[in-house]
Amino acid sequence: PFHPYYTIGHDVPGIVMFLIIFSAVMFFFPDGGGYLLEHPNFEPADPLKTPNLIAPVWYYTPYYSMLRAATFPLFGMTAKFWGLVVMAGAIAILFVVPWLDKSPVKSMRYKGLPSKLFLAAFVICFFILGYLGTVHPTPIRTIIAQICTAIYFAYFLLMPWYTSVEKTKPVPDRVTL
């Protein structure tokens, strides 16, 4: 008898809360402050005028910021090519995380302090990159984007080292129902 008791007691309140928040956003705040629906989409098209800032949608902004962070040519290739390589590498590296994590525990709750500090730095840099992808590039913003991009990749490339040397908490025995 899983359905009537567990569904009504646990699933329905969450679904109702989601529908309330979803309806509030859709009816009272549909543009999301310019992050969900961009303001240029509501302006009439003018083929003779290019917008001052063309920013991607919010979920692409960290990767767009990484794309712009590559500013120097290397090995005879242009900076645009290396920006594309960095952006594609930032997405591709997510697929190899299960093989990079050498920790005996998989839950962040039981991992050691290095994993938590690296994760905090990663999240902060990812949000900074997201912000930098929505604003005009300046020399100082480009340097910040380059530093945050380096920290982004350091989180993944150093993961085999800091997850293998850290001291983890023991995982408790679970009680199953």
Amino acid (one-letter) located at 121: A
First-residue to last-residue Cα distance in the chain: 13
Residue 78 lies in a domain: yes
pLDDT in tens, the chain (177 residues): 567 777 777 888 899 999 999 999 889 888 777 777 777 777 888 889 887 777 788 889 999 999 999 988 889 889 899 999 999 999 999 999 989 988 888 888 888 899 999 999 999 999 999 999 989 989 999 999 999 999 999 999 999 999 888 888 887 777 444
Q: What whole-number distance in Å separates Cα of residue 157 and Cα of residue 94? A: 11
Q: Which tokens belong to 112? A: 């050691």
Q: Do 63 and 149 belong together in one domain?
A: yes
Residue 87 lies in a domain: yes
Q: What whole-number distance in Å separates Cα of residue 53 and Cα of residue 135? A: 8
The total of structural domains in the chain comes to 2
Residue 173 lies in a domain: no
Q: What is the largest CA-CA distance in the chain?
A: 67
SS3 per residue for 81-143: HHHHHHHHHHHHHHHHHHHHCCCCCCCHHHCCHHHHHHHHHHHHHHHHHHHHCCCCCCHHHHH
Q: Do 98 and 132 belong together in one domain?
A: yes
> Which structural domain range is residue 65 located in?
58-165
Q: Do 73 and 141 belong together in one domain?
A: yes
Residue 93 lies in a domain: yes
Q: Do 72 and 36 belong together in one domain?
A: no
pLDDT value for 177: 42
Q: Do 32 and 67 belong together in one domain?
A: no
pLDDT value for 1: 56
Q: Do 154 and 130 belong together in one domain?
A: yes
Q: What whole-number distance in Å separates Cα of residue 66 and Cα of residue 137? A: 12
Residue 114 lies in a domain: yes
Asked if 142 contacts 69 with a C-beta cutoff of 8 angstroms, the reply is yes
Q: Do 141 and 109 belong together in one domain?
A: yes
